[in-house]
Amino acid sequence: LALKSIADFPIGVAVPVDPWPNSLLRSKQRQALVEKHFSSLTAENGMKMAYLQPRPGEFEFTHADALVNYAKSHGLVVHGHALVWHTQAAPWMDEYQGPAYRFTEMLDSHVRNVATHFAGKLKSWDVVNEAFTDDSPSDYRPTIWFNNIGPGYIERAFRLAREADPNVELYYNDYNISGAVPAKLDRVLAMLDDFLARGVPIDGLGFQVHIDTESPSLEAIRDAFSRAAKRGIKVRISELDIAVNQSEQYDALSPAVAELQAKRYQQVIQAYLDTVPPKLRGGITVWGLTDGDSWIPGFKQRQDWPLLFDDNFADKPALVGMANGLESQ
């Protein structure tokens, strides 16, 4: 069983780069899984603003470059994440006290430098991540970028990215848009429609799909993917994981719950294949390799087992569920 051989679109995983302890480049066991199952890599943190530009005008590409080189030598593509985000902007950006127009310069310089550095080496970029609120109606999230530049910062980032790298695919990426907050998907699609109508360069929409075994409903997930695909743009599942312990009812992953999770992986993948035609499939990336690598326990302060491999690097039923989903095409 090797996921990548079942799909004719990128099957990816998010991984830490150096200097994080679980760095792919320091772990032979992780490399073995990556090389067997995946055809695409995303840096879980290492290509975010804080890490690529830790001090004003000082870019640090060493670790991200090492990942790109590893990917190249093993025949994987790389999805860049993310040129512009408010979380994990560099602390010096967050703390900057000068005039608002300086934020435009900051954004321009970051996007230009980073997109130029990686030009020709990446398959795709998340150009802007998480720019809208979870409210109903959803609106622009009041981030340092929005507050200082205004809503035009999003379009600006896409235009700059295209200028710097003519062939890379440009995505807008967000969470809770695969059914959880319908008003947020409405808002994102309104922006997409506007961009497409005005010729702002954008190639696709990334659905993060951080979900659990209960919600959102499969119907809501299918509906969300299909609304995006109807625009004729590429659709990625960019950060897939399926939590099981959302009510904190378990202290271990039982076989029954593991099977429930496997079924859910299968259904989500099937929903993607049913609603997104082959030429619009930008790929599916899972957000981490082993359960112990997942962001969820730290972030949500609870145990969980949301991924495809356990802490001993062994296949979980979820892996089989994902494979079954891919085979359904």
**How far is CA 137 from its chain centroid?**
24
Q: How far is the CB of 111 from ligand G3I (least distance, A)?
A: 17
Peptide bond preceding 19 in cis form (omega within 30 of 0) = yes
Name which of 191 and 326 has its Cβ closer to ligand G3I.
Answer: 191
128 or 326: whose CB is closer to ligand G3I? 128
Nearest to 87 by CA among 130, 46, 139, 44: 130
Taking CB atoms, the residue at the shortest distance from ligand G3I is 295
Angle, nearest 10°, between helix axes 182-198 and 152-164? 50
Residue 214: which residues within 8 A CB-CB, separation 6 or more? 246
Site residues (vs ligand G3I, CB under 6 A): 20, 44-45, 87-88, 129, 175, 208, 239, 295, 299
What the block records as the tokens of 172 is: 């807008």
Q: Catalytic pick from 35, 169, 239, 259?
A: 239
Minimum CB separation from ligand G3I for residue 324, in Å? 26
Cβ atoms of 194 and 151 closer than 8 Å: no
Cα gap 269→237, rounded to integer Å: 9
| Residue placing its CB nearer to ligand G3I in the complex, 240 or 253 | 240
Element (H, E) at 220: helix 218-229
Q: Shortest Cβ distance from residue 44 to ligand G3I (Å)?
A: 5
The conformation of residue 99, written as its DSSP 8-state character, comes to -
Task: Using the minimum distance from each CB to ligand G3I, give the nearer residue, 212 or 239.
Answer: 239
Residue 239 annotated among the catalytic residues of the structure:
yes
| Among the listed residues 181, 183, 226, 182, the one whose alpha carbon sits nearest the alpha carbon of residue 205 | 226
Minimum distance between the CB of residue 99 and ligand G3I, rounded to whole angstroms?
A: 28
Nearer to ligand G3I, 10 or 206 (CB): 206
Cβ 295 to ligand G3I shortest distance, Å: 3
What are the backbone dihedrals phi and psi of residue 272, each rounded to the nearest 5 degrees, phi first? -65, -45
Residues with catalytic function: 239
